[in-house]
């Protein structure tokens, strides 16, 4: 079996209403997909992480100019071999960011091909499924004004609750006083409803502000406090972890077994959050899961991107062991972004959805999705 073609699809769709997270305004949906063809038939799909302010052309260029030449004529089933080839050959200018996101896209597509070749879901290739459904948490609470939106965000919490979500993650990082007002309003809105809350400041603060916010957050029995400080400040993570009761999470801006190994060795996080399209793909998530298991650190993937990244994340979520086994052990939960996103709804024949409060994980071969060619063409810009 040989790889015969690697094609990137850069997708864009302007948002009717731009929204903000703590790092800026997001005007456009974008995605970098890769399609890998083979001489024996199976076609694999993968995706590179592209956060709202990142040009999707960067990962596409890495795939086209740096990675595709390394894979020409290779056997797509040599997934681990090819991962190391891509990583080592880009080390001197890669290791992080869009280069590793590009590796991730290729790696996901190779796992998709392998699953289709063997006629099994990727979770089976990873050793089998610990779960066939996963509990989702609602991600949302983006800002449309910037500050002073606590009442609207409290209403949004009730909408997530009415839609069946019993866990939700609040975007913070818009000034500590505004954040506290938002927490108070949402806390009151969901009080007594059995809702699990998490927060995410997208590294908006330095240590002093992150701690000031953190002491208030400690009142709320949160499942986690995500990206409290910039990813470079590992000592800051360690300090917050030692001073706060709330578990500290992070990792969507970290990469590979090397980056996560460092986070874990230094005791930076209680919960590590690799993103499949950014950490190095399915292979890297598997490496990171083993590291976490060895050190008692929960792995709870960050999930962003189109229906392709969502499907790949679900396969890995199926195959993730619980970190601390018990009769009523806590498993990973699925990040389910509730904002409007055409690349999630339209790109595949069966988009991810909530049924009876859970998300069902596909048992189809590979990633278990079928792309819709017309939708790809509608949003393709390259």
Query: Shortest Cβ distance from residue 249 to Ca ion (Å)?
Result: 8
Can you read off the two tokens belonging to residue 218?
A: 């400690």
* One-character DSSP codes across 105-166: HHHHHHHHHHHHHHTSBHHHHTT--S-SEE-EEEE---BSSSSS-HHHHHHHHHHHHHTT-S
Query: Shortest Cβ distance from residue 312 to Ca ion (Å)?
Result: 18
Residue among 250 and 368 whose Cβ is closer to Ca ion: 250
Query: Shortest Cβ distance from residue 197 to Ca ion (Å)?
Result: 14
Residue with tokens 């339209």: 346
Given 287, 302, 325, 341, the catalytic residue: 302
Angle at CA of residue 314, ends 308 and 316, nearest 5°: 110
CA 34 to chain centre: 17
- From CA 321, how far away is CA 107, in angstroms rounded? 21
Query: Shortest Cβ distance from residue 92 to Ca ion (Å)?
Result: 29
Segment interacting with Ca ion, rule: CB under 5 A, options 62-70, 93-101, 195-203, 306-314: 195-203
Residue among 179 and 200 whose Cβ is closer to Ca ion: 200
- Per-residue binding string, Ca ion, 198-217, x by CB under 5 A, is --x-----------------
> Of 87-126, which residues contact Ca ion (CB under 5 A)?
none
Active site residue 302: yes
Segment interacting with Ca ion, rule: CB under 5 A, options 194-202, 216-224, 239-247, 263-271: 194-202
- Backbone φ/ψ region at 141: left (φ over 0), alpha (ψ -120 to 50), beta: left
Angle at CA of residue 195, ends 357 and 25, nearest 5°: 90
Chain residue whose CB lies nearest Ca ion = 200
- Per-residue binding string, Ca ion, 149-188, x by CB under 5 A, is ----------------------------------------
**Helices (H) and strands (E) in the chain — how many of each?**
14, 13
Residue among 114 and 172 whose Cβ is closer to Ca ion: 172
Residue among 203 and 241 whose Cβ is closer to Ca ion: 203
For the chain, the residue count is 382
Query: Shortest Cβ distance from residue 43 to Ca ion (Å)?
Result: 31
Residue among 112 and 179 whose Cβ is closer to Ca ion: 179
Given a contact cutoff of 8 angstroms between Cβ atoms, the answer to whether 318 and 352 are in contact is no
CA 252 to chain centre: 7
**Which residues are known catalytic residues?**
302
Chain contacts with Ca ion (rule: CB under 5 A) = 200
């Amino acid at each position: 079996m040989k790889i015969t073609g690697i094609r990137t699809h850069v997708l864009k769709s302007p948002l009717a209403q731009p929204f903000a997270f703590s790092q800026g305004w997001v005007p456009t949906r974008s995605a970098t997909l890769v399609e890998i063809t083979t001489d024996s038939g199976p076609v694999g799909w993968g995706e590179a992480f592209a956060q709202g302010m990142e040009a999707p052309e960067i990962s596409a260029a890495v795939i086209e100019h740096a990675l595709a030449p390394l894979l020409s004529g290779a056997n797509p089933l040599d997934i681990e071999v090819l991962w190391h080839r891509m990583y080592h050959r880009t080390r001197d200018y890669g290791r992080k960011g869009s280069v590793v996101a590009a590796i991730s896209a290729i790696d996901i597509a190779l796992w998709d091909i392998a699953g289709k070749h063997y006629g099994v879901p990727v979770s089976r290739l990873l050793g089998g499924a610990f779960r066939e459904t996963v509990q989702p948490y609602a991600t949302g609470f983006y800002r449309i004004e910037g500050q002073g939106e606590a009442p609207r965000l409290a209403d949004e919490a009730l909408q997530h609750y009415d839609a069946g979500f019993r866990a939700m993650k609040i975007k913070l990082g818009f000034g500590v006083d505004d954040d506290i007002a938002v927490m108070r309003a949402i806390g009151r809105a969901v009080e007594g409803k059995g809702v699990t809350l998490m927060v995410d400041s997208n590294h908006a603060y330095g240590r002093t502000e992150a701690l000031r916010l953190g002491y208030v957050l400690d009142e709320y029995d949160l499942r986690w406090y995500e990206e409290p400080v910039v990813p470079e400040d590992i000592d800051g993570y360690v300090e917050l972890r030692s001073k706060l009761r709330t578990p500290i999470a992070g990792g969507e801006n970290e990469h590979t077994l090397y980056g996560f190994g460092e986070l874990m060795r230094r005791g930076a996080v209680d919960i590590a959050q690799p993103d499949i399209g950014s950490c190095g793909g399915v292979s890297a998530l598997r490496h990171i899961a083993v590291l976490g298991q060895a050190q008692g650190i929960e792995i709870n993937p960050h999930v962003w991107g189109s229906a392709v990244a969502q499907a790949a994340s679900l396969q890995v979520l199926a195959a993730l062991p619980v970190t601390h086994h018990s009769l009523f052990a806590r498993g990973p939960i699925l990040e389910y972004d509730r904002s409007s996103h055409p690349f999630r709804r339209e790109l595949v024949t069966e988009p991810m959805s909530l049924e009876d409060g859970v998300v069902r994980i596909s048992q189809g071969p590979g990633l278990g999705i079928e792309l819709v060619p017309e939708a790809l063409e509608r949003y393709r810009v390259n």
